[in-house]
Structure 1
Amino acid sequence: MTVNTVDVSAGRAQQVLREGWAAQRAGALTTSWMLHGRPGVGKTEIVRQLAAEQGARFYDLRLTTIESQDLRGLPYYDHETKKTQWYRPEDLPDDPDRPSLLFLDELTAAPPHLHPAVYGLLLERRVGPHILPDNVFLVAAGNMVEDGAVAYEMGTALSDRLIHLQVRATASDWLESYAVPRTLHPAVLAFIRMRPDLLETTAEALDRGLMISTTPRSWDRVSRIMGAVQDRALRRIMVAGTVGEAVAAEFMLVADDIEASVSVERLLNAAPHERIMLYPESMHGLHALIYGLVGALGPTTAVPVIDVMAGIRTLDVHRSDASFARMPLAELCTHGFEMAIRRGLEQGLAEDFLGHPAYAAYASERQAMGLE
């Protein structure tokens, strides 16, 4: 069955849920939400981050690993009332004073015998005698059969009670909303910036009968491999086992070049007259440098980070390498400063940028060109 709604990026989906939470808190909209999307596009991370933003307790129920009694609880006999009562399971929020987010993951893969209990939560915000407090935000997620996942069709009675979001992975959103804030390895960021088509290849892998595809989740794993494993041969094997042999071969060529030509720490610590010769000479190297600078930005590094970032703009003037003349250096510098400013504002470093001569010159030049 096709999910006939608009596609949204992970960042956009989070904005929608954030607005939905505010509406529920104001008493204007109480509903349940359903995130559809291929495996690894970031559905769980969207919900987990939303709970953290709201200061909410996060309840993560993987519906493929529980039984119906796990939701209804265990029965006991009340001798006074001569009735069977039910102990409330610990996985259901019950605190009316603290907001909670109840995440029902793998909804479309839940076995049919579990559906009545799950549907009661999503449709009526209760299961058996257990009623969810008004401050509980309800989100479910799942994959479809066409995603190569185990899935059951969703009945119309349930579908009609949910607000559906179809999450699609996009490179620009993933880089801005997830990868940069979490300072993933610069080689991964630079590679996806240059090859956005390889962020998510599930459909292509299914068409070709390949088991391994690339997803935002797998690139996060590659980032951790790059940071944790120093042996290049072993690292290549691990990366190939994560994103597939062909993609891994292409990525490792870029990663090896970046590793050989990019040293953020060396650039930041070098004397100003020495820096010009330390810049990498390739586009992916410059992309990696930019992401590395953004990741290194902090109260003690703001000045050299701004210096090095601003230096990218005039590499074609100060370096004789013909390759720099063919590169969009101004665009690279602008892209880098935009990310750095966002990260700097989060850290309270606005004055470091506004008071720095190199940044002031950059801003004035853009203003003169009508870009500010």
Structure 2
Amino acid sequence: MFEENTQQNFISLNTALRLVKADTDFQMQQLLTGRQVDKHTFVLYSLPGIGKTQGIRELVQDQQELCIIDINAEFGGSLAMPISHVNEQEQTAQVLHALNASIARLRRHALSAPQTAHFLFLDEFNRGDEFMKQTIMQLLLENRLPGNPLPANIFVVGAGNTAENIFSDEQTVENDVNELDTATRDRINPLFIQLEPKEWLDWAYQNEVAPEVVDFIGSKSYNEQRDLLYQPSKSADGTGATPRSWTRLSSFLADPVIKNDPVLLKAAIFSMIGNDCGNRFLTYLTTGDPLDIFALLREPDQAKFAALATGSKMAFFSSALRPVEQDLTSTRPRGYAEIFTKYLQTDDQTAVARFMHTQVETGVLQERYPLTNEYLRQQPVFMQLVMEMSVNNI
């Protein structure tokens, strides 16, 4: 499905976000020294459901410094709506512009914190009507919306789909967008993002996506992972699979009523990821050997754990952290933390290294599982892994 396309320079979402952050940090340094800057407007182009919006949310630590606007859902240039104002005493009239409420909040916060970068994220960047196009052009040219200048510490980032399907050879994918004119294209920095399964899996490990999902996808080959993570619908009204839909599938798998009812489970899965991916995932759940986190924690089985694929071990390490944390708060702990530590002594260095990178190096373990973090840091085997990680990062 995915063929190399030589028309554009494809990069990963992580690379795109790193570029946005590095450039914004540099531009803010310039602003704080009183220099004039020519701010860049990055527009992230990709297939739908890749995680652009979520990535921007995670890039900005304080969500008061971020405003997300879906251009496609806005009416007639309503980033700033014209309102007529009549002064009856002076018999004059003028047009005022009421700023979109969410943008107004961002503007006030940016003015109150001038040393911090703020982001106006325009989703569906190239789906606006003609009025919206004019509004966006004024924003790019003058850093202002009609009647409302924006502070210099507000940076605009866009996201959308390209007019042509340049990301895969699937002919069923049609991008109903309004092509940008030459003047607008000349004032943006397009970043073309290709799906990278490893990046999505690392994110999924950190964000408690269902162990069945990360095990099923993580244990496949690279090409299989890409085909599973993005599979367009075969019909206009059908359902396809995207990284977003696989993530949302976790809510169904967490519901015991749905998970234990074959009819409900099948309907839920097909509604989320479509028939093709749904059939493969159902086969894994019903006839395969799906990863059972609690079975491994209740009855430690080193031989069974050693026989797991690397992807399955990684799924265990990430998904077991929540029950381990809960067990440490219990008045009658069952020793999950001790068992977890023994599994960390596996010979599968790839699985251990990815656990250390996604959970420890990123700070996820300390932030979300403080008791587990404290317990593990008292174990020599874990501290040896921390030391090795530090040496490798030098």
- TM-score, normalising length: structure 1: 0.78
Matches within 5 A, 1:273-288: 275-276=301-302, 279=305, 282-283=308-309, 285-288=312-315
1:104 paired with 2:114, answer no
- Is the aligned partner of 1:64 residue 2:72? yes
Instruction: State the one-letter code of the partner of 1:97.
Output: S
Tell me, yes or no, if the aligned pair for 1:198 and 1:214 is still in contact at 8 Å.
no
Consecutive unaligned residues of structure 1, counting only runs of 5 or more, are: 315-327
Q: Which moved more, 1:143-152 or 1:158-167?
A: 143-152
Residue 57 of structure 2 corresponds to which residue in structure 1? 48
The size of the alignment, in residue pairs, is: 349
Is the 1:258–1:288 contact (alpha carbons within 8 Å) kept by the matching residues of 2? no
- The aligned runs of 1:134-213 (5 Å cut-off) are 134-145=152-163, 146=165, 147-176=173-202, 178-195=203-220, 196-201=222-227, 205=231, 211-213=238-240
- Which of 87, 98, 108 pairs up with 1:88? 98
Instruction: Quote the offset at 1:205 in angstroms.
Output: 5.0
Indicate if the aligned counterparts of 1:39 and 1:215 stay in contact, CA closer than 8 A.
Answer: yes
Q: Is the 8 A contact 2:229 2:243 kept in 1?
A: no
Look up the match of 2:169. none
- Label 1:17 to 1:165 Cα distance change in 2 as closer, same or farther (>3 A): same
Superposed displacement of residue 23, structure 1: 2.4
Counterpart residue type for residue 39 of structure 1: P
- Asked if 1:37 corresponds to 2:46, the answer is yes
Q: For residues 77 and 100 of structure 1, what CA distance do their matches in structure 2 show?
A: 35
What is the distance in 1 between the residues matched to 2:192 and 2:226?
15
Deviations 1:294-314 (A, max 9, x none): 444549659844643543655
**Superimposed CA distance per residue, residues 101-148 of structure 1 (whole angstroms, 9 cap, x where no aligned partner):** 222111222223431112212332223221112221211111123252
Does the 8 A contact of 1:290 with 1:309 survive in 2?
A: no
Given that residues 233 and 239 in structure 2 are in contact (C-alpha distance below 8 angstroms), is that contact kept between their aligned partners in structure 1?
no
The verdict on how the C-alpha distance between 1:306 and 1:251 changes in structure 2, with shifts beyond 3 A counting, is farther
1:187–1:258: 8 Å Cα contact kept in structure 2? no
| Mapping for residues 7-22 of structure 1, pairs under 5 Å | 7-22=10-25
Letter paired with 1:329: D
Name the SS for the 1:236 alignment partner.
helix
Is the 2:284–2:290 contact (alpha carbons within 8 Å) kept by the matching residues of 1?
Answer: no
Unaligned runs of 5+ in 2: 32-36, 166-172, 330-334
Distance 1:128 1:278 in 2: 64
Please say if 1:251 is aligned against 2:281: yes
